[in-house]
Amino acid sequence: MKRIIILISLAAAVFCETSCESHEKVHEKTKLLVTSPLRMDTTTTKEYVCQIRSIRHIELRALEKGYLEDYYIDEGKFVKQGTLLFQILPIMYKAEVQRAQAEMSFAEVEYLNTKALADSNVVSKNELLMAKAKLEKAKAELALAQAHLGFTQIRAPFDGIMDRLSVRRGSLLNEGDLLSTISDISQMWVYFNVPEAEYLDYKINLNKGNQMKVSLKMANNEYFSHIGVVETIEADFNNETGNIAFRATFPNPEKLLRHGETGNIVVTVPLKNALLIPQKATFEVLNARYVYVVDKNNVIKSREITVGAEMPNLYIVTSGLNEGDKILLEGLRLVSENDKISYEYKEPKEVIKHLSIYAE
Who contacts 277 (Cβ-Cβ below 8 Å, separation ≥6)?
Answer: 37, 38, 291, 305, 314, 315, 317, 321, 327
The pLDDT confidence band at residue 28, using thresholds 50, 70 and 90, is: low
For the residues 240-247, what does the mean pLDDT come to? Answer: 90
Domain with 329, as residue range(s), is 27-42+273-353
CATH number of 176's domain: 2.40.50.100
Residue 53 three-state SS: strand
Whether residue 307 sits in one domain with residue 252 = no
Whether residue 92 sits in one domain with residue 174 = yes
**At 207, which helix (H) or strand (E)?**
helix 196-207
The pLDDT confidence band at residue 358, using thresholds 50, 70 and 90, is: very low
For the residues 40-51, what does the mean pLDDT come to? Answer: 88
CATH number of 310's domain: 2.40.420.20
Residue 128 three-state SS: helix
Distances (CA, A) of 76 to 39, 79, 171, 224, 335: 53, 9, 21, 21, 63
Whether residue 212 sits in one domain with residue 149 = no
Whether residue 288 sits in one domain with residue 214 = no
Distances (CA, A) of 165 to 72, 120, 169, 182, 332: 11, 63, 11, 10, 63
Whether residue 174 sits in one domain with residue 74 = yes
Task: Indicate whether 228 belongs to any domain.
Answer: yes
Task: Indicate whether 103 belongs to any domain.
Answer: yes
Who contacts 73 (Cβ-Cβ below 8 Å, separation ≥6)?
Answer: 79, 83, 85, 162
pLDDT for 67-87, tens place per residue? Answer: 888 888 888 899 999 999 998
Number of domains, the chain:
3
Out of 182, 207, 237, a domain closes at 182
18 pLDDT more than 90: no
Whether residue 326 sits in one domain with residue 220 = no
Whether residue 67 sits in one domain with residue 177 = yes
pLDDT for 247-289, tens place per residue? Answer: 999 999 999 999 999 999 998 877 888 899 999 999 998 889 9
Who contacts 298 (Cβ-Cβ below 8 Å, separation ≥6)?
Answer: 340, 341, 342, 343
Least confident of 24-33, 259-268, 324-333: 24-33
Whether residue 340 sits in one domain with residue 237 = no
Let me know: does 202 contact 268? Beta carbons within 8 Å.
no
Task: Indicate whether 301 belongs to any domain.
Answer: yes
Whether residue 112 sits in one domain with residue 38 = no
Least confident of 1-10, 271-280, 287-296: 1-10
CATH number of 231's domain: 2.40.30.170
Whether residue 71 sits in one domain with residue 131 = yes
Mean residue pLDDT across the chain = 84
pLDDT for 115-159, tens place per residue? Answer: 888 888 887 888 888 888 988 998 998 888 888 888 888 999 999
Out of 132, 147, 182, a domain closes at 182
Whether residue 129 sits in one domain with residue 90 = yes
